[in-house]
Amino acid sequence: MQIIRETGPESGDILIHHDQTVQMLREVASGQREATLRMYQPNPTVAFGRRDELNPGFAEASAACAEHGFEVLVRKVGGHAAAYHQGCLVVDHFQPASDARSGNTLRYELFGSMYAQALREVGVDARMGEIPGEYCPGEYSVHAQLPASAGGGRIKLVGTAQRVVTGGWWFSTGIVVSDSAPLRAVTADVYRALGMDLDPATVGAAQDANLHLLMEDLEDAIVEVYAQNGFH
């Protein structure tokens, strides 16, 4: 498996990555590229789902993003709005598969479990499962239990989405690692504009649960967990 850790001036441009994704998926599915794991830290962006774009409050939600300094992206996959910035880690997994269209649910469960494991390896009490009031809700979200010293409660840390084509699949994971306050603020305003339920207290970061966590340590833990699960 090829591992790409992107850095540099354009490495955080999630709009560029979004455009590149389809091409990379086609290359992997056709055998022109080996299985690939791409990791990068995105610029401030709110990724909306197609249903959000059709919501009467979408224009207001987009304006709220601009007020907070976040770009707007409408993605082809995934559920509802999720906010990212440089304190987040996006992991895109491109994998060839002869029968890519089966196993969608199994992939959500497998990778949710793997990312929860990686977070536990770096000192975050992470578990898989939806929590009440979370953004972009899903049963395979990964959340963490905050220690009493941090106020207790549960916070969402990981959201996932996937896309399949003939011959391969792409699985995308967004992990909130640090600086949750700006994400909480923009997410609260976006969900209010869309008329959707949200408990702002569920918007958190892994560093809220482990103050000493470093981004590079989490990246290394993810690569190790991938190897342990047979992705080489």
Mean pLDDT of 184-212: 96
Asked if residue 145 is part of any domain, the answer here is yes
Check: CB of residue 91 under 8 Å from CB of residue 162. Answer: no
Q: How many domains does the chain have?
A: 1
pLDDT at residue 16 is higher than 70? yes
Q: What is the pTM of this model?
A: 0.93
H helices within the chain, ranges in order?
14-29, 50-53, 58-68, 104-121, 180-194, 206-209, 215-228
pLDDT at residue 58 is higher than 70? yes
Q: Alpha carbon 39 to chain centroid distance?
A: 11
Domain CATH for 158: 3.30.930.10
With a CB cutoff of 8 Å and minimum separation 6, the contacts of 69 are 44
Domain with 83 in it: 2-227
Collapsing DSSP to helix, strand or coil, 204 comes out as coil
pLDDT at residue 140 is higher than 80? yes
Buried b (16+ CB within 10 A) or exposed e, 63-74: ebbeebebbbbb
As a whole number of angstroms, the distance between CA 46 and CA 54 comes to: 16
Asked if residue 232 is part of any domain, the answer here is no
Asked if residue 164 is part of any domain, the answer here is yes
